[in-house]
Structure 1
């Protein structure tokens, strides 16, 4: 086939919804996308190197709280979706989507090794007429300057002639109620015009609004801008929190007052640090790339410094509060409420709670945690705490010298939990903020 024939053939299969999609990585990004395509009438293969995850999915079970097992079971039983660890099956797919991790190294340098390794796996099986789309967050130029050469050199095929390549950033926000994978607009940028056209056609099958841009680099940059915007603004209110605290002014009340202005202001909220895969990591992809071009992204670096300093600030506030109660951090029993990085989800990626637990423990505190979504801690890229969640009850909380509220789970908003607790350090403004009666305790906002 010619370039035009390959593109027309794929376009026809997409329009007829007879195309098959392979999605590499069945985690918080890849799984909801796979289910959405399956529910939209396409045949979907979910690839993952975790055998336990593959078996779980094929049995119709979910390992992610906000994705119900019924969705998985229906997709599997209908024959529209199945999981596998066999990458040879990629050869049978019309389109292949890459949803693999992109962590940072010890010195905040981007680690694209998962993208590169996945590209090599695809290249050995790549066939003419396939569309490859990278969804993993990365710096501008990755798709065209790194992934494209890997695919071409490993397959002997030419991009834009034999196969097609695009970037479309994931925009998942686990636990969100007002938007979901189908309704969040999808930005798409190909390495050439035909790749963009085909990627738009594919995503339009399942997603309400698809937004084409002029290049893969623009699409890569758009995702970074979104999260840099959030990182910088969160850093601003985190810094203001420490400033207003020194002035004995409640930053939460200040924010509530400021957001009454109907224009020119958007509220952001402080916390004990940043969590999740996006905001703590994504901005540094751009600052690293900027340095390669002789430019210094000072806002990004400063925001990173402020946000990463927040767990230590909370620990210092906890130590000062304990001191006011005649106790030292050493040998004090401290309970951290919440291991998840955001409310009401079972997602602990980059959670500042790990930093809080580690720092308090290093100072000699006897630290436990409570989180209904995490019965026990699992080893992560950085942490292996080996802890189990304690029961959530007033009796439990009262047995600690201090309770640090790190996550705003709905379960933690029950004011009766805190009655008689000697000391509560609230980093999320959820204690005594729900209009309930006063309870007997000392409350410190941090």
Structure 2
């Protein structure tokens, strides 16, 4: 059966889009230039931890979603969405390789009047200067005349039960006004509100602003955490008081590092701008530096606490609680837990972990022992470190059982544990 939508890229962006489309009654196929997601989906498993569950995938399939390994399917749809991943490369720029592959695969099958949407997190200018030429050269069609092209940044909060896809406004910037309206007509079937940007670059820059806003503010409270600890001030109480201000303040909370799929992006490294090279956003660079230091600060606090109780890190039994980047999800993308575990191992500590969402965890390709009984493991550990607060954790009970508890999330009752 011909589909209305092709989702290209079956990861943390593409699968929620496909889920929303299927829920809206849109016939949807899913394609990925990497064969592994197709194999996982065909077996009824989710290819990306923390995105959708296996039961979600089964419901999508029963609702008409079809994962496919046949690129010919891309030429039989009215709308195609590029949702390829763009990880941060070693040179601090976003790796656009998967986006390029997706655009090339689509270009060979692109038909007139198709609406092409780019949801991948990309530098401003990518939709116009990378995706558009690839589509036009591969298809012989012209964007804005023969087919519609628009950018709509991914805007999901995994695990958030309030701001689900349908209740999250969608930003859209088309190459032409007609492109914008075509994209708006599609997304209007999935979400309550559509926000029209002036063009693709404004839509792309929206994602840059939103991501950097998060990282800069987390960096501020991370610095405050270090300062408040040195001054003997309870930062968590400070935040509680500050968030009562009804204007001019939005609460952020410190932690052992910053994880997730949204990486801080410095426009000074954008490949498609003639104005920004040499003029990076210094605040973004500094925020990244501060947040990258937090795993090291956690190690420092661990060593100090052990020393204060007459123990050394070398030989100490350390239990890490919660190794995912976000509470109540299995997604480990960029979680600071792995770096913290690695550093403790380098210092000679004996590492164990517990996480209700992660049954097997490896650090540097070495398996880390998983605690079967949480309370017994905490009682037997010289130090227990809460890295992620999953709702299943009874922290008050845990604080009673643990010999020594470091809470990096401020989740324990006041006075029950040592806080970051």
TM-score, normalised via structure 2 length: 0.93
Change (3 A) 1:403 1:378: closer
3-state SS, counterpart of residue 384 of structure 2: strand
Q: 2:92 aligned with 1:108, yes or no? A: yes
Equivalent residue, structure 2, for 1:146: 130
Match of 2:20 among 36, 53, 69: 36
Cα distance between partner residues in 2 of 1:371 and 1:150 = 44
Q: Deviations over 1:416-444 (max 9, x none)?
A: 223242211110112235xxxx87xxx32
Cα distance between partner residues in 2 of 1:122 and 1:164 = 13
Q: 2:61 aligned with 1:76, yes or no? A: yes
Q: Deviations over 1:75-114 (max 9, x none)?
A: 3224x21111222210111111011111111231221111
Match of 1:135 among 119, 126, 129: 119
> Do the aligned partners of 1:57 and 1:82 also contact (CA within 8 Å) in 2?
no
**Segment drifting more, 200-209 vs 60-69:** 60-69
Q: Aligned-pair distance for 1:301? A: 0.6
**Segment drifting more, 214-223 vs 63-72:** 63-72
**1:219-238 alignment, distance < 5 Å:** 219-238=203-222
**1:233-312 alignment, distance < 5 Å:** 233-278=217-262, 281=263, 283-289=264-270, 292-312=276-296
**1:413-424 alignment, distance < 5 Å:** 413-424=394-405
Q: Aligned-pair distance for 1:229? A: 1.1
Q: Deviations over 1:377-421 (max 9, x none)?
A: 268xxx544335322421111111111100011122342223242
> Do the aligned partners of 2:9 and 2:84 also contact (CA within 8 Å) in 1?
yes
Q: Aligned-pair distance for 1:31? A: 1.1
Cα distance between partner residues in 2 of 1:108 and 1:366 = 33
Change (3 A) 1:378 1:99: farther
Cα distance between partner residues in 1 of 2:77 and 2:381 = 56
Equivalent residue, structure 2, for 1:57: 41
Change (3 A) 1:285 1:137: farther
Cα distance between partner residues in 1 of 2:280 and 2:19 = 41
Cα distance between partner residues in 1 of 2:46 and 2:108 = 31
3-state SS, counterpart of residue 192 of structure 2: coil
Unaligned runs of 5+ in 2: none
Change (3 A) 1:61 1:116: closer
How well do the aligned residues superpose, as a CA RMSD in angstroms? 2.1
Cα distance between partner residues in 2 of 1:110 and 1:315 = 29
Q: 2:319 aligned with 1:338, yes or no? A: no
Match of 2:109 among 100, 121, 125: 125
3-state SS, counterpart of residue 393 of structure 2: helix
Q: Aligned-pair distance for 1:189? A: 0.4
> Do the aligned partners of 1:23 and 1:46 also contact (CA within 8 Å) in 2?
yes
Q: Deviations over 1:94-150 (max 9, x none)?
A: 111011111111231221111111111111222222111110111110100111111
Cα distance between partner residues in 2 of 1:388 and 1:45 = 40
Equivalent residue, structure 1, for 2:81: 97
Q: 2:372 aligned with 1:391, yes or no? A: yes
Change (3 A) 1:248 1:387: same
Q: Aligned-pair distance for 1:353? A: 0.7
Cα distance between partner residues in 1 of 2:366 and 2:269 = 31
Change (3 A) 1:386 1:24: farther
Q: Deviations over 1:203-256 (max 9, x none)?
A: 111111111111000000011111111111111110011111110111111111
Cα distance between partner residues in 2 of 1:362 and 1:331 = 11
> Do the aligned partners of 1:375 and 1:388 also contact (CA within 8 Å) in 2?
no
Cα distance between partner residues in 1 of 2:147 and 2:393 = 51
Unaligned runs of 5+ in 1: 1-17
Match of 1:400 among 361, 371, 381: 381
> Do the aligned partners of 2:11 and 2:51 also contact (CA within 8 Å) in 1?
no
